[in-house]
Amino acid sequence: MLNIALFGPPGAGKGTQSEFLINKYNLFYISTGDLLRKEIADKTRLGTEAQSIIAQGGLVSDEIIVQIIEKTITDNPDANGFLFDGFPRTYIQAYILEGLMLKLNTSLNCLISLAVPEEVSVERLLNRGKSSGRSDDNEKVIRNRLKEYNEKTLPVLQFYRDKGIYHEVNGIETIEKVNHSITRIINQELSKSLFNIVLFGYPGSGRGSQGKALAKKFGLEYVATGAMLEEEIASNSETGKRIRDLYENGQLVPDEIVVQLIEKKLASSKEVKGFIFKGFPRTLVQSYILDGLLKKYGSAISKIIEIEVPTLELISRLDARSKTAACMPYDSSTAKIVKRLQEHETKTVPVIEKYNQLHGVIKIDGRGSFDEVFDRISEAMESGIKNMR
Ligand code: AMP
């Protein structure tokens, strides 16, 4: 997700710049001012409460703001990212935003402040007042809005300076120049963020071969926990020996070991654009682990993809594979194949359902040739990458 807050006094050009940014980066636009005006037009309880405060140029209470903004955000969990205009406007609202982002397992990437001297704001707003139809675009109310801005909103900047995500742009330049400066900041931010894919599918759906090929095409690091465990055994490390013992006794590898291996992989992958996870997370516990691990690196899951193949075809594919040189020890017999399919059904399907509710899972038809499926997944990934960069 790409989440941006546009900051600045009334008349700084936040609305104008927003129009361009939401299209360029495919963001969901949230203007608390617009939301409040809609509440007023709809004559809702919140609208009635806010109306007289807005008319005087004061700030509406944080309680009202949290209600309208929470609803808008939770109604759109699948958004590619949010662009906030006119929010946060108080120190309390900065904390509210932190909480809301946390709820979506994401964070604010940057706050961009459009710096404009007070007299320029007044002049622009008076001009806008001639055509905006907004009753708060008159001099008396404008002065009060600026007073509120200086007293309550400007201190919010320190919150973001402390977090290291504050950027300032000179807002008296031309629209195009301001545009250009904002784009540069956002692109710089995007180049820092990782593109992380979780690839799901039943055994035999082609996750492994597709995952490897997709990682190569998109320059991502392929993270397959099964293969990582094998590598660890082959390296004969202390952990490798422990894993072998567990395998030989038919026991599952505990999450502690898997976490360590993934953590090592994330820490050693310095210059990567992102990761493709295959075979992890397999359980609900592991899904929390992945969220936590990525969060530790200031990142999160970008897209979740599930390759769907009908059960009968899965069985026939796994059976065919069991008769070739590519046969894995775990699909050497029908009983083992069925056991793996069942494991996926009972442990991993709930994880996919959880993700589907939280972020939405992109379902890809896994029937047809390798290239056909590859093209389908690539297309789904490309739209994500384009939206991120
Ligand atoms: P705007 O359209 O952003 O200029 O907002 C118009 C008016 O709505 C402001 O002058 C405030 O009265 C109210 N308002 C908008 N956003 C907020 C907010 N985040 N907190 C408090 N009041 C707000």
**186 and 201 belong to one structural domain:** no
Continuous H helices in the chain: 14-25, 32-41, 45-56, 62-74, 91-103, 118-132, 139-148, 156-163, 175-192, 207-218, 225-235, 238-248, 255-268, 284-296, 311-322, 334-343, 349-358, 370-388
Which of 16, 60, 65, 132, when mutated, tests ligand 1's pocket best, judged by the most ligand atoms within 8 Å of its CB? 60
**54 and 104 belong to one structural domain:** yes
Q: Is residue 98 part of a domain?
A: yes
Determine the distance separating the centroid of ligand 1 and the alpha carbon of 324, expressed in angstroms.
66
Q: Is residue 232 part of a domain?
A: no
User: With the C-alpha atoms ordered 385, 386, 387, 389, is the resulting torsion angle positive or negative?
Assistant: positive
Q: Is residue 329 part of a domain?
A: yes
**134 and 219 belong to one structural domain:** no
**29 and 178 belong to one structural domain:** yes
Query: How many distinct structural domains can be found in the chain?
Result: 2
What is the model's pLDDT at position 83? 97
Ligand 1, atom 2, residue with closest C-alpha = 33
What is the model's pLDDT at position 79? 84
**181 and 220 belong to one structural domain:** no
Which of 14, 17, 36, when mutated, tests ligand 1's pocket best, judged by the most ligand atoms within 8 Å of its CB? 36
**205 and 170 belong to one structural domain:** no
**199 and 303 belong to one structural domain:** yes
What is the model's pLDDT at position 321? 84
* 7 touches ligand 1 (CB under 6 Å): no
Q: Which residues of the chain have pLDDT under 70?
A: 325, 327-331, 384-389
Q: Which among 175, 191, 177 has a CA at the least distance from the CA of 19? A: 175
Of 174, 192, 210, the residue at which a domain comes to its end is: 192
**214 and 119 belong to one structural domain:** no
Ligand 1 nearest atom to the CA of residue 10, by list position: 4
Record the tokens describing residue 333, joined without a space: 């017999």
**286 and 363 belong to one structural domain:** yes
What is the model's pLDDT at position 384? 62
* 146 touches ligand 1 (CB under 6 Å): no
Q: Is residue 230 part of a domain?
A: no
**64 and 201 belong to one structural domain:** no
Determine the distance separating the centroid of ligand 1 and the alpha carbon of 61, expressed in angstroms.
10
Q: Is residue 10 part of a domain?
A: yes
8 A C-beta contact, residue 245 and residue 168:
no
Domain with 378, as residue range(s), is 195-224+274-388
Ligand 1, atom 15, residue with closest C-alpha = 33
**28 and 176 belong to one structural domain:** yes
What is the model's pLDDT at position 319? 87
pTM exceeds cut of 0.75: no
CATH code (residue 58): 3.40.50.300
What is the model's pLDDT at position 331? 67
Ligand 1 nearest atom to the CA of residue 89, by list position: 19
* 32 touches ligand 1 (CB under 6 Å): yes
**154 and 202 belong to one structural domain:** no
Q: Is residue 9 part of a domain?
A: yes
Ligand 1 nearest atom to the CA of residue 86, by list position: 3
Q: Which among 318, 349, 312, 359 has a CA at the least distance from the CA of 335? A: 318
What is the model's pLDDT at position 278? 95
Ligand 1 nearest atom to the CA of residue 87, by list position: 19
What is the model's pLDDT at position 322? 81
